[in-house]
């Protein structure tokens, strides 16, 4: 067992991949001398040099496009975008190029690029830096979308993502970078399926990423009410693992989805639709969801916390679904 922070786990995964394969390189804003906006790549420039740890200009569209081209040329680039808000500047490259080239070429070309970015609020960085847009990307066919919520997943997702012949986007919740856990080495992570983080029989809570800790805390509080709660960590937002969700729901017959994205058009809404389509007759109560409020994430700390999902909101939703 090794105690690692989420940040150290990602750095270690990048280093391991670069040592194992000379085609792997990291590119993005401030990933070199500065060591990354969140300190993830600190020290890698000294070890691997500027050819493989490449600082880029402030142009997400340009360097994401360069990463896509490098991947098509046989390299294995890891593209870092500071925050998912800024990734919108590269959305054309992701959606119209990376996600479509294999299909538009009839399978002749692949784009094995990994794009990492920070997501989530709670840091008083205002609306330009605090949104959770992973649900938007989970809407796009042709890419895989991952959301590591634990240090183990942060350590183990990059390797199989780099092995994927198609584009993989990894959303790292910025509040997790300092979070530490004991991790078994070597780490092997399944990037195809969700995982049950806590078993229960009365209520299913479905979540991912930065909301996992809040959801587990809510499950503990619901337990004091005698409600046995099962917690599912989606981990993979595209393709969604319907089977794990529906298997849990067949047992508990009640479900709350926790999603830091906005309520309208949310990933939570998609999960609710799939449950209704495939498992309506298993339900003993209406579905519920806890999402961010329909506002740009505020700067003021008290307003920001009010806008985001919280333990209290999850507990209230769980009690309501249980008829308490």
Burial of 181: CB neighbours in 10 Å, binned 0-12, 13-18, 19+? middle
76: CB partners within 8 A, 6+ apart: 17, 21, 23, 24, 25, 112, 114, 162
Give the residue numbers annotated as catalytic, written as ranges.
60, 129
Q: Please tell me the distance from the alpha carbon of residue 312 to that of residue 315, in angstroms, as a whole number.
A: 5
Q: Please, are residues 187 and 152 in contact by the beta-carbon 8 Å criterion?
A: yes
In order of 38, 84, 173, 232, 311, the CA distances from 178 in angstroms are 10, 19, 11, 23, 20
Q: Which residues contact 236 (CB under 8 A, 6 or more apart)?
A: 144, 145, 146, 147, 191, 192, 193, 194
């Amino acid at each position: 067992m090794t105690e690692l922070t989420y940040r150290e786990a990602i750095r270690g995964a990048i280093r391991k991949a670069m040592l194992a394969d000379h085609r792997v390189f990291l590119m993005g804003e401030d990933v070199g001398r500065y060591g990354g906006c969140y300190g993830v790549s600190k020290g890698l420039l000294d070890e691997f040099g500027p050819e493989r740890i490449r600082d880029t200009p402030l142009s997400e569209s340009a360097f994401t496009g360069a990463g896509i081209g490098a991947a098509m040329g046989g390299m294995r680039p890891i593209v870092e975008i500071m925050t998912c808000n800024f990734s919108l500047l590269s959305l054309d490259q992701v959606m119209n190029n990376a996600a479509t080239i294999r299909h538009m070429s009839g399978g002749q070309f692949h784009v094995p690029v990994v794009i990492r970015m920070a997501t989530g609020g709670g840091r008083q960085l205002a609306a330009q830096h605090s949104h959770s847009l992973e649900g938007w990307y989970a809407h796009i066919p042709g890419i895989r979308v991952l959301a590591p919520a634990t240090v183990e997943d942060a350590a183990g997702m990059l390797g199989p993502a780099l092995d994927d012949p198609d584009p993989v986007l990894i959303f790292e919740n910025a509040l997790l970078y300092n979070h530490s856990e004991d991790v078994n080495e070597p780490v092997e992570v399944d990037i195809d399926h969700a995982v049950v983080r806590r078993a229960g029989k009365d209520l299913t809570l479905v979540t991912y990423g930065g909301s996992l800790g809040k959801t587990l805390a809510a499950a503990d509080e619901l337990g004091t009410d005698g409600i046995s709660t099962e917690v599912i960590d989606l981990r993979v937002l595209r393709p969604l693992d319907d089977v794990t969700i529906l298997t849990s729901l067949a047992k508990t017959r009640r479900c709350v989805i926790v999603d830091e994205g906005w309520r309208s058009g949310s990933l939570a809404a998609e999960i609710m639709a799939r449950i209704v389509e495939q498992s309506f007759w298993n339900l003993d109560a209406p579905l519920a969801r806890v999402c961010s409020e329909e506002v740009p994430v505020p700067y003021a700390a008290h307003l920001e916390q009010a806008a985001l999902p919280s333990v209290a909101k999850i507990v209230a939703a769980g009690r309501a679904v249980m008829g308490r």
